[in-house]
Structure 1
Amino acid sequence: MPFLDLDELASLTGAPVRHSHRPPDNQRSGPRPKADALIVAPATYNTINKWANGIADTYALDILAEAIGNDIPIVVLPFVNASLASRAPFRRSVDQLRAEGVHIMLGPGEWQPHPPGTGSERLSQFPWSRALAHVEEATWPHVKS
């Protein structure tokens, strides 16, 4: 959340920005608007592994788990170092999510993992716009043009 302007996002979407589960005794204020598509960026090693393995211990992971089941197009732009990306659990998680229709922008011609210890240097180069462009160019019938 530190990189988001929550007020601006709420203004653009016409809905409050939710970032945590509501308390059990708090009534739902109504259905949340269905997303046309989701972008998960920067997607960390932990986020990708937990999500692929069905762990929904945060509000964001809960939403992502449901999105797959609701057939919402999802584009993921990972931000992981090469050592973590080379691990079998991460590779399996990427394969699992791709098998469920999630588009992960990782590999040849896509975003590449960075060398260990260089994440803060690479953050300024993070290609946020590539994930948005992919969603806008996609031919998913759900996505509004």
Structure 2
Amino acid sequence: MGGKQEWSRPARPRRPVRTGLLLGGLGVGLCLVGVAGLALWNVQLVMQANGPVRETADGFFHEVSAGDTDQAYERLCKDTRSRWSEVGFGSWVRTPPQVSGYEITDVSISTLRGRPRATVAVRVTRDGGASEERKLPVIQENGKWRVCGDPF
């Protein structure tokens, strides 16, 4: 009886820890796949929109520089058309110095709360040769890209 008995801890199975780590790793992996999928969808949306946004801005400025304000007015978004009548917009565009030419220098597309928005940088040339850089806001409305805000 005089021997000292050493204390030993009973062996616990390691399965709950391994299972927890495995499930945690799978959860993190699933989240990463979801984030990558969302990023890919966002990139596709932006890349596919570049052409139509450029066409909208190009058409708008082509019509403005040609004096076809009725067609240019149709390219405006609902919010901008609510602030300008068709006659008022035409008078505003025809106010000297009028737009005589333009050059699209950049198209930038992003998403805000899942909705695509674009900004088109345009170098506008006016009668008399003066030019200025403008940012043209473009949004998607009812499946079509529309100029929104103050283009001049």
> Greater strand percent: which structure?
2
* Fold similarity call, TM over 0.5: no
Which has a greater percent of helix? 2
Higher relative contact order (CA 8 A, sep 6+): 1
**Rg (Cα) greater in structure:** 2
Instruction: Name the TM-score class by shorter chain.
Output: under 0.3
User: What TM-score, normalized by structure 1, do the two folds share?
Assistant: 0.23
TM, length-normalised to structure 2: 0.22
